[in-house]
Amino acid sequence: MTQPKIALVTGGGTGIGKAIATALAREGYALVISGRRLAVLEEAAAAIAAETGADVRAIAADVGDPASVASLFAGIEAAFGRLDLLVNNAGMGARAVPMEELSFDEWSSVLAANLTGPFLCTREAMRMMKAQSPRGGRIINNGSISAQTPRPFSAPYTATKHAITGLTKSTALDGRPFDIACGQIDIGNAASDMTARMSGGVLQANGETRPEPTIDVTHVARAVVYMASLPLDANVLTMTVMATQMPLVGRG
């Protein structure tokens, strides 16, 4: 019997992360989903397992804390002995206020979740993927449309997501000799709790507030499954999946 591939999805208990985890489970992956709230994770893991029949484990972790991330990966190694796919999805935003009104604590919290977290998880994944047999694996980073273009009053989120692009490219380069592929998916307006406010209006660069279209999160999940399905000698370095009519390209 062929052993299933093993995937970790951070922020996997809700929204985009849960949709990605569900789609991977349907493709035969065994899964670990992580996040800060164990009860939410356990509920999601049970639902995904019931729907797909997959082996889904819930491990609570704070991706911004090195000890917590080390414990998460130790748990994966103990349970499965390897890791084939890491999806760095966990993240958060800050209040949409002028930059001078943001506190250092708010800045630091976003930095920890959105940049330090993916770095710490990537570092642990690289260690496992280099040492395991067969060697190698894949890392997919959730970059967000904000990795390309900011919204007003989004300096912490935008800065971290731009930085994810650099982390993605560095990981792709440094992983190359070890059969470790790394790519980035930039998501525009996938329907989730984070985008629920968009139907009521979002501040635009010209100062107007307008509602924005969203897309079903399953489209994002299908895109991640495609990226993950490639053999390790092929890689989607960057992909953008967005609502067609959202104000990104052109001048709004």
Give the list of residues 6+ apart from residue 87 with CB closer than 8 angstroms, or none.
Answer: 7, 8, 9, 10, 12, 17, 20, 24, 139, 140, 142, 224
Active site residue 157: yes
User: What is d(CA 112, CA 65) in angstroms, rounded to the nearest whole number?
Assistant: 8
Among residues 73, 80, 119, 157, the one annotated as catalytic is 157
Q: Give 197-200's long-range contacts (Cβ < 8 A, gap of 24+).
A: none
CA geometry: angle at 12 spanning 8 and 14, to 5°?
170
d(CA 246, CA 23): 25
Instruction: Let me know: does 32 contact 57? Beta carbons within 8 Å.
Output: yes
Question: Which residues are known to be catalytic?
Answer: 157
